[in-house]
Amino acid sequence: MAATQRKELTEFQRGEIIGAWKCDFSIRKISEILKHSKSTVHEVIAAYKEGFETLPSRSEASPITIKRYLHKNNIYGRVGAKKPFVNAANKMKRLKWVKQKVKWINEWENIIWSDESKFEVFGGDGKRYVWRTPQEKYNLKCLIPTFKSGQESVMIWGCFVKNKLGPLVKLEGKITANIYVKEILEKHLLPFINNLEDKENYIFQEDNAPIHTANIAKKWKEDNNIASLPWPAQSPDLNPIENLWDELERKVRNHRPLPKNQDDLWKILQEEWLNLDEKIYKNLVDSISRRVAAVIENKGDPTKY
C-alpha cells in the first residue's frame, strides 16, 4: 500500500501555529488546540526559527510569494543597524562597570564626555540590508558589526557636559600621545574645565585609545588635578557624545551648499556644532541611566544607543 502524502498546511494554518507559539503555548498545547500533529507543529516552528517564517513549500515559493509572506509577518528589508563588535571578555567588563554605576543619577551631570570622530566629504554610506520586524532593529542577529577603518576623512575631537558644549578641534596628521596632550588637553580641554562652575567636581571621560592611556597623558591629567572616569572597552553606546556626532552629521548632510572639500566641511562642522540645540545634549546625559540598564538587560551585548 502506498504511503499517504501529508497535506500541505495553508498560510493561515502556519500563521496560527506561529502566533500560538509566540504567545508561549507549548508544542503539545498547540497540537491539541489546532489539531495538528506535534511533529508538524515542531517543523513549522523550527522553520520559523531558522528564518523561513511560515513560507509554503519550495514549489510554491516564488519571489513575489516570499515577499508577500515576509510582509504578512511584518518583516521588511531594512538597512542593518551597525554596532561595534564586543568580544566575550569585554562583555563581562561592560557588565561589571554598569553594575558599579547603576545607582548613579546626578553624578552623570559632572562628567565631561569626549571623543574623536571622522566626517567624510564624500563616500558611500556602506548600507547593508537585513530582513527584520520593526522591533528587531537591535536584535543581535540583525546587527551589522562595525570595525575601525582608515578611510580619508576630517578628524575632530570634541567634548561637552550636560549644560554646555566644549571646544571642537580639527585633528591633522597622525595624532601621537604627545600631540594629544599639547594640542588637545593643554590648549582646549584645560581652558574649558577652568571655565566650568565647581570645576573640581568634574570627571573627564575618554575611551581606551592608546593616546589617551599613554603615560604622558596620565601624568598630565594627574599634574593638572583632572580626575578620569575608568572606561569599559568597546562601549560607544555608553558615551552620549556618539549620539551627538550623529546629530552633527545629520546637520552637515542637510547643510546647503554641501561641502566640496575638507576646508568646506570643517567650516560647516564648526558652524553646526555651535548651533546644536542645548536640549539635545541635556537629554543625552539624562539617558545614561537608561543606557546602563540596557547593558545589564543585554548582558553586556551592544544596546540600541
pLDDT band at 231, cuts 50/70/90?
very high
Supply the pLDDT for residue 302: 87
Element (H, E) at 204: strand 203-205
Q: Is 70 exceeded by the pLDDT of residue 113? A: yes
Q: Is 80 exceeded by the pLDDT of residue 184? A: yes
Supply the pLDDT for residue 13: 85
DSSP labels for 236-260?
A: GGG-THHHHHHHHHHHHHH-SSPP-
CB 238 within 8 A of CB 291: yes
pLDDT band at 58, cuts 50/70/90?
very low
Model confidence pLDDT, tens digit, residues 258-272:
888 899 999 999 999
Which of helix, strand or coil describes residue 82? strand
Of 8-22, 77-91, 149-163, 209-223, give the lowest mean pLDDT range. 77-91
Supply the pLDDT for residue 242: 94
pLDDT band at 25, cuts 50/70/90?
confident
Q: pTM for this structure? A: 0.66
Burial of residue 13 (CB within 10 Å: 0-12, 13-18, 19+) is middle
